[in-house]
Amino acid sequence: MSDFSALGLSEWLSQQCRQMGINKPTPVQQSCVPAILEGRDCMGCAKTGSGKTAAFVLPVLQKLSEDPYGIFCLVLTPTRELAYQIGEQFRVLGRPLGLRDCVVVGGMNMVAQALELSKKPHVVIATPGRLADHIRSSNTFNMRKLRFLVLDEADRLLEQGCTDFTKDLEVILGAVPAKRQTLLFSATLTDTLQELKSIALNKPFYWESQSEVRTVDELDQRYILVAEKVKDAYLVRLIQKFQTEHEDWSIMIFTSTCKNCQILNMMLREFSFPSVALHSMMKQKQRFAALAKFKSSIFKILIATDVAARGLDIPTVQVVINHNTPGLPKIYVHRVGRTARAGRHGVSITLVTQYDIHLVHAIEEQNKAKLKEFSVAESEVLKILTQVNVTRRECEIKLESSDFDEKKEINKRKQMILEGKDPDLEEKRKAELEKIHKQKRKFKEKIQENLQRQKDILLKKKLLKKKRRQQKQEAKEKP
């Protein structure tokens, strides 16, 4: 009996795993697969790249093969690229079943998706926003017989970050049966444990990797302390270094905003580096194309915002560079987790300015792992500094003269319309709110000024009293 069969999976599934080069279950699979097969809800918290996807795909396929119907399983995930990746994993492992899956994400044709949904696919993999739109606007499909609900990157789905999924999740949870198996997975579940327990109600089986350290041992975690104005020169130097020192190299660079992502990509291309960008201001087709080019190693550098920080499995990535220090330790864990996956080695290098040192301390403290300094010859950086900074400025000017900011504004307005809001009214409301905040700030400042003035007066009075007392004392003591 193979290791996978010993977990309770059929021989055909073990065979599929072997064909994928997966021979031995990882600890998260070893623990969670039997619990899920027993019918229990499950929460799995295991490090990045440890095989969490197969830990839910395999038992779902096993149960589906015993009683196949659609829609059997719904997987929710925070990003579109991740939805397609999970869909692929289901398709490969579920091939002998003739599995029919449907990926439902924003930025793609809604009518085609509605048609696919109406054909009752076995598994639906979706981002919450688009699926909730389908539920609100269509009666051509239902999930009333759903057996499995999976939340991949569950903590992200529940937190109220820049994309807030809570309203969409409410709609989705209202459309699936209460009697179901719920499976929640992430590398960073612990912070949102209580909220997650309200979704997986039936005394879920909880599994967490034993180690206190949140990152994998195979990851060499480094930092470089840099001044903001030399950051880009260090980035260019680092890439030059990897390009000359390694034959087969592949780098992911993370940055904080779409605009910076775009500028960095333009700049690196000016230096003839094979780079592509991935951020949420790009059209979905461009996003897929960029990722495909990077995955197939046609382009060796992917510059991305946090839209690519979670879940993406690209085994060739050897280096992750954080162009900005992540503000939250868990975002750091997911970003650096794009390398050193499934037992491979990898390096992460975080560019840290003097203003970010406290963030590094928080990262080290929470993730229980120390970052070591990465040494780069400063003289080499200085040689290219002017050229890099001039190139960046040129790229900034080029971008400013394009319609990038305008597009951003249009996207924002589109989003508001989709959320049923009037963009003009919202703008007015925002301006009014800003006015109120300003008045409040002024009022607060005035109160503080008054308080300070009163304090000063009291202090002065005290000092005066003291002085008088001293004078009286001195007068008494005089012969």
Ligand X SMILES: Nc1ncnc2c1ncn2[C@@H]1O[C@H](COP(=O)(O)OP(=O)(O)OP(=O)(O)O)[C@@H](O)[C@H]1O
Residue closer to ligand X, measured from CB, 106 or 337 = 337
> Of 24 and 469, which CB lies nearer to ligand X in the complex structure?
24
Smallest gap from Cβ 343 to ligand X, in A, equals 7
Q: At residue 290, what is the residue type?
A: A
Residue 237 vs 330, nearer CB to ligand X? 330
**Would you say 92 and 57 are in contact if contact means Cβ atoms under 8 Å apart?**
no
User: What DSSP designation does 479 have?
Assistant: -
What are phi and psi for residue 426, nearest 5 degrees?
-60, -40
Instruction: Specify the length of the chain in residues.
Output: 479
Q: Nearer Cβ to ligand X, position 50 or 322?
A: 50
**CB distance 183 to 150 below 8 Å:** yes
Out of 22, 301, 317, 371, which residue is the one contacting ligand X (CB under 6 A)?
22
Considering only residues 14, 16, 26, 113, which one is a binding residue for ligand X as defined by CB under 6 A?
26
Using CB under 6 A, count the residues that bind ligand X. Answer: 20
CB-wise, 26 or 215, nearer to ligand X?
26
- Residue 154 burial by Cβ neighbours in a 10 Å radius (0-12, 13-18, 19+): buried
* Cα atoms found within 13 Å of the Cα of residue 68, Cβ hemisphere only: 12
Binding mask 54-93 for ligand X (x = CB under 6 A): x---------------------------------------
Q: What angle do CA 330, 336, 337 make, to 5 degrees?
A: 85
Query: Helices marked H in 182-313 — which ranges?
Result: 193-197, 231-245, 258-270, 284-295
Site for ligand X in 320-339 (CB under 6 A): 337
Which span (45-53, 216-224, 232-240, 369-377) binds ligand X, by CB under 6 A?
45-53
Which of 32, 51, 132, 184 touches ligand X by CB under 6 A? 51
The residue type of 346 is G
Residue 14 or 113: the one with the smaller Cβ distance to ligand X is: 14
Q: How far is the CB of 82 from ligand X (least distance, A)?
A: 8
Distance between CA 264 and CA 304 in Å, rounded? 10
Please report whether residue 16 would count as binding ligand X according to CB under 6 A: no
User: Nearest distance from residue 218's CB to ligand X, in Å?
Assistant: 12
Cα–Cα distance list, 277 to 140, 231, 258, 301, 478 (Å): 37, 19, 9, 8, 85
- What is the helix, strand, coil percentage profile of the chain, to 5? 55, 15, 30
Residue ranges in 349-368 that form contacts with ligand X under rule CB under 6 A: none
Would you say 36 or 281 has its CB closer to ligand X?
36
Nearest to ligand X of 54, 363 (CB atom) = 54
CB 216 to ligand X: min, Å: 10
Angle between helical axes of 27-37 and 52-66 (0-180°, round to 10) = 30
Considering only the stretches 43-51, 213-221, 321-329, 410-418, report the one whose residues sit in contact with ligand X under the rule CB under 6 A.
43-51
Q: Is the peptide bond before 301 cis (omega within 30 degrees of 0)?
A: no
Taking the complex as a whole, the smallest distance from the CB of residue 54 to ligand X amounts, in Å, to: 5
Q: Please say which residue, 25 or 129, places its beta carbon nearer to ligand X.
A: 25
Minimal CA–CA distance to 322: which of 270, 249, 281, 371? 371
Q: What distances in angstroms separate CA 345 from CA 49, 329, 337, one per listed residue?
A: 11, 21, 11
Task: Find the part of the chain contacting ligand X (CB under 6 A) among 41-49, 214-222, 223-231, 413-421.
Answer: 41-49
Strand arrangement of the beta sheet that strand 123-126 belongs to: 101-104, 123-126, 73-76, 148-152, 181-186, 42-45, 205-208
Residue range at the interface with ligand X (CB under 6 A); choices 49-57, 71-79, 425-433, 465-473: 49-57
The reply on whether position 341 binds ligand X by CB under 6 A is: yes
Q: How far is the CB of 79 from ligand X (least distance, A)?
A: 11
Does 313 contact ligand X by CB under 6 A?
yes
Distance CA 251, CA 272 (A): 15
Contact 363, 215 (CB under 8 A): no
Q: How far is the CB of 337 from ligand X (least distance, A)?
A: 5
- Per CB under 6 A, 188 contacts ligand X: no
- Shorter beta-carbon distance to ligand X: residue 24 or 393: 24
Under the binding rule (CB under 6 A), the answer on residue 50 touching ligand X is: yes
| Residues of the shown chain interacting with ligand X in the complex, contacts defined by CB under 6 A | 22, 24-26, 29, 46, 48-54, 187, 311, 313, 315, 337, 341-342
